[in-house]
Amino acid sequence: MASPRAPGRFTVMVDGKSGPTLGLEAIERLHLVVGGSTLGREQDVADEAEALRVYDRAATMLAARGRAARDLEKMLVRKGEQPELARKAVERLTAQGFLDDAVYARSFVRSKSSGAGLARRRLEQELGRKGVDRAVVAEAIDEVFEEEERDEAASAEALARKRSRTLRDADPRATRRRLYAYLARRGYSVDVINEALDRVGASDGESFDEE
């Protein structure tokens, strides 16, 4: 029986009562027909219904917020789903084109580089934690940075100027250290940070080195 609330979903009737919900693909795999019996195939029906439930949950999570494939899979497992079913749900979403790490990576880079001012190194770290392949990450960063003509030195300077207006330390050394930490957390290199701080006038003659 077709589900009135979920297009493409069908309720299997068992002894005249509503049973598991299946998709059309599962119905075809199990060779179920209207008025037919599921006798002897109860476990197969239950397994297909459970796989569909996990898939629907994954699709709902993805619709609410873009995610990397590996990140979505890990989140499903953390929420109690079976690892194998989580993997299959992610594979299905990927095959259908709803889940694409390259698209996600480009979107992430655009958002975090312009909005939060993250540098290449921090972007690589963040996307790496989400399970995105290094080559995909590198390509996404290169593409977005080229499109937006992004210059990390200029970005670091702009961030430092903006941040310096919120600092009221009388001690120039303390101000410089706080600005350094602020930019370092966003992934800028020591050389870029020191140059940016010199340009905005947050200088007391002290430069920082890589630790």
pLDDT digits 0-9 by tens, 41-97: 677 778 888 899 999 999 999 999 999 999 999 999 999 999 999 999 999 999 999
For the whole model, what pTM was predicted? Answer: 0.78
35's tokens: 């008025």
Nearest-angstrom CA–CA distance, 16 and 68? 42
Residues with pLDDT less than 50, the chain: 1-4, 205, 207-209, 211
pLDDT, position 45: 77
Q: What is residue 47's predicted lDDT score, i.e. its pLDDT?
A: 83
Handedness of CA 86, 88, 93, 97 (dihedral sign): positive
Within 10 angstroms of residue 100's Cβ, the number of other Cβ atoms is: 16
Q: Phi and psi for 14 in degrees, rounded to 5?
A: -120, 115
Residue pair 19/12 in contact (Cβ under 8 Å)? The answer is yes
